Structure 1
């Protein structure tokens, strides 16, 4: 029987790390993926004050290495900028109350 493969979003936090471990423990082939959404310097946020930072991505990579699973970093900066950030800003400028989470979950 072939081993089932699953891809999991790895944030570098506890939830995704434990989920990856539990899936692996169940015998699944786990592949970790982290999305790079922006550069902190582009949005004037200090690295220690932002989510999704380079440090978080390194944590995700480290967890995957410790679990012995493959890890991939997807550069989604342009897509995130145009599909989420710019749409959010445009809606906000005309008085709407945008919810970018809805757009991301479509």
Structure 2
């Protein structure tokens, strides 16, 4: 498993970031905000889809169109009805899981608990 990731290789940013530092990623069109475990964040010009391909699948899961989350950052998952599932991260951020990803996310959550 890679332990670092480059944010923007075209600009040749010299400082790679350690994957262990990443808590979750939020995509906004052609940009992605990376949120780190220490509370800091950085905006990059790579799409969330590119990060989803680069980051380890056993650690990160895409829960909807806009979020890629480190499974270990989930503190609580709650299901309002049979249709909806939402995750609460350690920092209090709440993220809705899409209907298509609900089964996959539940599988990941079972593996970690």
| Range of TM-score over shorter length | under 0.3
Choose between structure 1 and 2: higher helix proportion: 1
Q: TM-score by structure 1 length?
A: 0.27
Relative to total residues, which structure has the larger strand share, 1 or 2?
Answer: 2
